[in-house]
Amino acid sequence: MTRWRLTIEYDGGPFAGWQRQEGAPSVQQALEEAAGRMTGESVRFHAAGRTDAGVHALAMAAHADIAKPLTEHRLAEGLNALVRPAPISILAAEPVADDWHARFSCTGRRYLYRIANRRAPPVLDRGRAWHIARPLNLDAMAEGAAHLVGHHDFTTFRSVHCQSESPLKTLDSLTVERVGDELHVAAAARSFLHHQVRSMVGCLALVGLGRWSPDHIAAALDARDRAALGLNAPPHGLYFVAAEYADASSQLR
């Protein structure tokens, strides 16, 4: 039995999220069915994060245990062929130690949120960025974002369906930058609450539009109350960027 680490890119649009669920398509189910056809085994995939419906991934980390002898190339190519036409791609595959776990070994996660900030609606990036036609104040958004960095009770920015045991999280960084006619909000932390990034971005958009002051972000955080949330950004602008692991090279087989 070999434990494989896979790096996966996917368009979250057609899926109800990463996690397998009854009566709805998921990234996990599509991969497990492809792996089953390839190996004749019942293969279970475990990911570094469980993205919501409509959320994309640039490099999701996952692992699976497979008994059939395979090379890195054959596993990646086989899964890419069999998962079609689902918009999922295996970017890399490598064997890792038996105790390596995509979720529990992860020491950091990074997300990116894309806002198309122009008058004309996006066509080529439709479904891949949140369109806000009115100009956004980048400096005010960055000032508001600074209030969220650090160790806080993020109850205000937490979904009512969140299953985390505690609302306390440490946000390592939250930056806002303009890239062409887009605004990119980048977030990094060891782990996030359900809807935390989307909720933070939604409130930052209110700041950028002038509906909230930057200090309103601090007030919402201090309220520790979901009712204080101004806006939850839509899922289609959010991307899982990367999962980080300590001393990953020593964990390879």
d(CA 183, CA 80): 32
Do residues 34 and 214 lie in contact, with contact meaning Cβ atoms separated by under 8 Å?
A: no
Q: Any idea what the CATH number is for the domain that residue 91 is in?
A: 3.30.70.580
- The residues that are catalytic are 52
Taking the C-alpha atoms of 188, 189, 190 and 193 in order, what is their torsion angle to the nearest 10 degrees? -120
Which of 104, 134, 159 marks a domain boundary?
104
Q: Which domain holds residue 14?
A: 2-104
CATH of the domain at 189: 3.30.70.660
For the chain, give the mean pLDDT: 95
With CA atoms as reference, report the closest residue to 180 among 125, 238, 142, 234: 125
- For residue 249, tell me if it sits in a domain: no
130: left (phi over 0), alpha (psi -120 to 50) or beta: beta
Instruction: Kindly state whether residues 88 and 177 are assigned to the same domain.
Output: no
- Is residue 178 a part of any domain in this protein? yes
The strand ranges marked E within 154-208 are 168-179, 182-189
Pairwise CA distance, residues 221 & 42, whole Å? 44
Q: What is the share, in percent, of the chain residues with pLDDT greater than 70? A: 97
Distances (CA, A) of 117 to 89, 102, 133: 29, 35, 6
End-to-end alpha-carbon separation of the chain, Å?
12
- The answer to whether residue 167 is domain-embedded is yes
The tens digit of pLDDT for each residue in 24-52 reads: 999 999 999 999 999 999 999 999 999 99
Asked whether the predicted pLDDT for residue 249 surpasses 60, the reply is no
Last residue of a domain, one of 49, 75, 104: 104
Report which secondary-structure segment, H or E, holds 146.
helix 138-146
**Counted domains in the chain:** 2
SS3 193: coil
Statement to judge: residues 30 and 8 lie in one domain: yes
Reported as a pLDDT band with limits 50, 70 and 90, residue 247 is: low
* Strand-pair partners of 46: 63
Helix (H, G, I), strand (E, B) or coil at 179: strand
- One domain for residues 150 and 223: yes
- Bridge partners of 179, per DSSP, are 182
Q: Are residues 134 and 236 in the same domain?
A: yes
Q: What are phi and psi of 188, to 5 degrees?
A: -135, 135
Are residues 24 and 99 located together in one domain of the fold? yes
pLDDT in tens, 123-163: 999 999 999 999 999 999 999 999 999 999 999 999 988 87
Is 233 within the bounds of a domain?
yes
Q: For position 250, what pLDDT does the model report? A: 36
Question: Residue-wise over 22-32: b if at least 16 C-beta within 10 A, else e?
Answer: eeeebbbbbbb
Listed residues 104, 127, 159: the one ending a domain:
104
Residues 74 and 175 in one domain: no
The DSSP string of 32-99 is HHHHHHHHSS---EEES--PBTT-EEEEEEEEEEE-S---HHHHHHHHHHHSTTSSEEEEEEEEE-TT
